[in-house]
Structure 1
Amino acid sequence: MAQSHTFKGFDEALNRLRADIRGMGDKALAAVDAAVAALAEHDRAAAEAVIDSDRDIDLMQFGVDDAQLHALTEHAAVAGDLREILVAGRIAADLERIGDHAGSIAKRVLLLRVPLETGSLFQVKRLYTRARDLLTGVMTAYARRDGEAARELWASDAELDGLYRQLFESLMDDRHAGGHDAAVATHLMFVAKSVERIGDHATNIAEEVVFLATGDRVTDPRPKQDLVGHRR
């Protein structure tokens, strides 16, 4: 639970910072959802809307910067408060990058000449669902200051790596069998990499939530999977 302070103004400053981070998380998630929906429907207008919305996420990050400065300069923060202010900036940076990756997916929609075939779309959606679960999970953990849940989500990153590698191998096999043309396969790989990177940024946020909740840094190597799905 968030700590309560003697000075009401400082509580208000921290609450504003927390609300800004939650709002930014909601906006980033909505951008990812819209980008994948545009990909599924081959909806160029929806893709352009996602690209246009990236500026909104950038502006929200500026708002977090302002809230951080206000909390630092207007009030005497103690160690726990400084940790929260520091973590907010780092989470905002990861959320801004998630918005960028949503925009990258949307740009691929504009480059694809035809809709994706069902099998490829299924694999992308499976990867996206896992990344989305990570992002929603870590933002819930942030809101609840739940370090244990954040650490569990951090450890689950290997599952997303495995799905990404499965999609990669499937694309390579399909190309060798005379399936996707080179352009479509390239666009799909960029989409898959963007989704995988969204999961990586969500995992970064999980590390920050652990630090926020416990004061301890996650220093273990991240669990990963190799190309045949074994953890390394």
Structure 2
Amino acid sequence: MATGHTLKAFDEDLDQLRGLIAEMGGRAEEAIAQSMQALVRRDTEAARQVVEADKRIDLLEAEIERQAVQIIALRAPMADDLRDVVAALKIAGVVERIGDYAKNIAKRVHVIEQSPNIEPLSLLPEMGRIAGEMVHNVLDAFAARDPEKAVAVCERDRALDDFYNSIFRTLLTFMMEDTHNITPATHLLFIAKNLERIGDHATNVAEMVYFAATGGHLAERTRGEDPTRPHG
């Protein structure tokens, strides 16, 4: 079998790698939506299915890593081609973490299911929708090798941060009003934080897409203030 970089062979390998990332990203995006639906409906069985489905995301990451290493070893890509392969490898790791955050949300459904109706719960679905859209859009940017779409994803991160800050303050007030609210509200706060982290990871992917497409780095983005982070 001949080794070395040939245009057609490399393109076929890269297309296969992108296909695996598209499947992995689609599953992560679906996990976000399903975990939020399970939360709103207090559906522990649906939440269990999200946790179980995460195993497929982990397997896809392992396969992407195997194929990326093989491409580098057999095709010896350089310059733009090498950036594409390295970006795919890094993106797979980030998407796996996004899947983990969705799984963590699903794991908290059983606690919320046992709690009385919590008003701030109504704030989370919109935050989940934004996070899911960011994941979807950044993977579209990767598939299209579109740096402008990548920049647009980074710009949405501020909105998600602002949403998290609003939820944080609402939940803090909710806990102060009644100590019985502390446990369920704390779990909701962790869920909101998981969604905020999904947005952060989507922007990390966007930065990788931008670099793979242009060879340059995005200017450091300005984040919304996190009320849980100490000052000074």
Tell me the TM-score normalized by structure 2. 0.90
For residue 219 of structure 1, report the CA deviation from its aligned partner. Answer: 3.8
Q: 1:132 to 1:124 in 2, by over 3 A?
A: same
| Equivalent in the alignment of 2:213 | 213
Unaligned runs of at least 5 residues, structure 1:
228-232
For residue 118 of structure 1, report the CA deviation from its aligned partner. Answer: 6.5
| Equivalent in the alignment of 2:35 | 35
1:79 correspondence with 2:71:
no
1:12 correspondence with 2:9:
no
Distance in 2, matches of 1:12 and 1:206, equals 23
For residue 206 of structure 1, report the CA deviation from its aligned partner. Answer: 0.8
Distance in 1, matches of 2:205 and 2:10, equals 24
One-letter code of the match for 1:68?
Answer: A
1:127 correspondence with 2:127:
yes
One-letter code of the match for 1:125?
Answer: P
8 Å CA contact retained: 2:174, 2:181: no
The two structures, once aligned, show a CA RMSD in angstroms of 1.8
For residue 226 of structure 1, report the CA deviation from its aligned partner. Answer: 5.5
- Shifted more, 140-149 versus 159-168: the winner is 140-149
For residue 121 of structure 1, report the CA deviation from its aligned partner. Answer: 2.5
For residue 180 of structure 1, report the CA deviation from its aligned partner. Answer: 5.7
One-letter code of the match for 2:130?
Answer: R
Distance in 1, matches of 2:45 and 2:181, equals 25
For residue 182 of structure 1, report the CA deviation from its aligned partner. Answer: 1.4
Matches within 5 A, 1:132-143: 132-143=132-143
| Equivalent in the alignment of 1:49 | 49
For residues 178-228 of structure 1, the C-alpha deviation after alignment (integer angstroms, 9 at most, x for no partner) is 27621111110111111111111111111111111111112424332465x
Tell me the TM-score normalized by structure 1. 0.90
1:25 correspondence with 2:25:
yes
For residue 106 of structure 1, report the CA deviation from its aligned partner. Answer: 0.6
Q: 1:116 to 1:91 in 2, by over 3 A?
A: farther
Distance in 2, matches of 1:144 and 1:135, equals 14
8 Å CA contact retained: 1:21, 1:88: yes
1:162 correspondence with 2:162:
yes
- Structure 1 stretches of 4+ with a deviation exceeding 6 A read none
For residues 115-174 of structure 1, the C-alpha deviation after alignment (integer angstroms, 9 at most, x for no partner) is 673632321112111111211111111111110121122122111110001001001112
Distance in 2, matches of 1:75 and 1:165, equals 47
